[in-house]
Amino acid sequence: MAGVLSPEVQDRKASEKAADVHISVRNVEKVYRSQRGSVVALENVSLDVAKGEFVSILGPSGCGKSTLLKCIAGLEPLSGGEIFVSRQRVAEPPKDLGVVFQRDILFDWRTVLDNVLVTVEFLGLKRRGYEARARSLLTTYGLAGYENRYPWELSGGQRQRVAICRAMVHDPQFLLMDEPFGALDALTRDELNLELQNRWFADRKTIIFITHGIAEAVFLSDRVIVMGRNPGRIIADVKIDLPRPRGVALRDTPAFTAYTGRMRAIMDDANAGITHAGVLS
């Protein structure tokens, strides 16, 4: 019958799809237990992220966004389920991972260049082989000439740029970013959104980006995962079909406004107990 794929073609397409998955989260649960009782931080969370995809996770405080990120990074043990990165089960932090947190966590007694190279030292790699890349990244992020300065001499935006360079210096295959621009002013945040997008567009790393900002999530992402709380769970998976590269002016367009309005509606529905299943486009 026309339009029906043969079993062989179906198997091949399924294999191609599986090969394209970089990060796979399967039925993950996370429960924190104490003498005062148990708190379910994550319940039955499943998610696939393709190679080179930019996925944002959006949701209110306390919905488990950061907990999920730590589980993917191998920094938190699971209470149930499994997580795979490049088909390898996550039991510890993967070596091809870069992480950027909301706080830059720079060492004030080390220069900018030495802070960027901390990851190289931690992984037991030869510093000399990565100095050129570190300097190149600093130039890309507007920090050429700052190599020998110290963190206390930098602005908040400059410090966060150093943190991003540090996460990328060993050329990881995927980045986990936990509200990296949340503490910055609006103008600096816009600048870093553009810089991050341009860098991602150039090298297509797989990125999972945690944010509270609806506009930020829509601007940066291929898909936006919306989480609800009590317990933390996925309530919607929205594909963002907007042209790239994206400029700040895009935020004033009807298409962009439609996406942000949809996100707000989904989050309002979540507060009312309504869940949006599946991938929405």
Domains in the chain: boundaries: 23-85+174-281, 108-172
User: Is the bond preceding 245 in cis, omega lying within 30 degrees of 0?
Assistant: yes
Structure tokens at 34: 């104490």
Q: What is the pLDDT of residues 27-37, one digit of tens each?
A: 999 999 887 88
Strand 21-34 relative to strand 37-50: parallel, antiparallel, unpaired?
antiparallel
Between 17-26, 100-109, 153-162, 234-243, the lowest mean confidence (pLDDT) is in 17-26
The pLDDT score that the predictor gives to residue 161 is 93
Q: How far apart are CA 7 and CA 224, in angstroms?
A: 32
Question: What does the mean pLDDT of the chain come to?
Answer: 88
The pLDDT score that the predictor gives to residue 271 is 65
The pLDDT score that the predictor gives to residue 115 is 97
Do 98 and 172 touch, CB atoms closer than 8 A?
yes
What is the mean pLDDT of the segment spanning 255-276?
A: 82
Per-residue pLDDT at 205 exceeds 80: yes
Between 94-103, 120-129, 272-281, the lowest mean confidence (pLDDT) is in 272-281
What is the mean pLDDT of the segment spanning 190-201?
A: 90
DSSP letter, residue 93: -
Do 58 and 209 touch, CB atoms closer than 8 A?
no
The pLDDT score that the predictor gives to residue 274 is 57
Percent of the chain with pLDDT over 70: 89
The CATH architecture one would assign to domain 23-85+174-281 is 3-Layer(aba) Sandwich (3.40)
- The residue with greater pLDDT, 15 or 151, is 151
In this prediction the pTM is 0.87
Strand 206-211 relative to strand 174-178: parallel, antiparallel, unpaired?
parallel
Q: What is the pLDDT of residues 62-74, one digit of tens each?
A: 899 999 999 999 9
The pLDDT score that the predictor gives to residue 9 is 42
pLDDT band at 267 (very low <50, low <70, confident <90, very high): confident
What is the mean pLDDT of the segment spanning 207-216?
A: 95
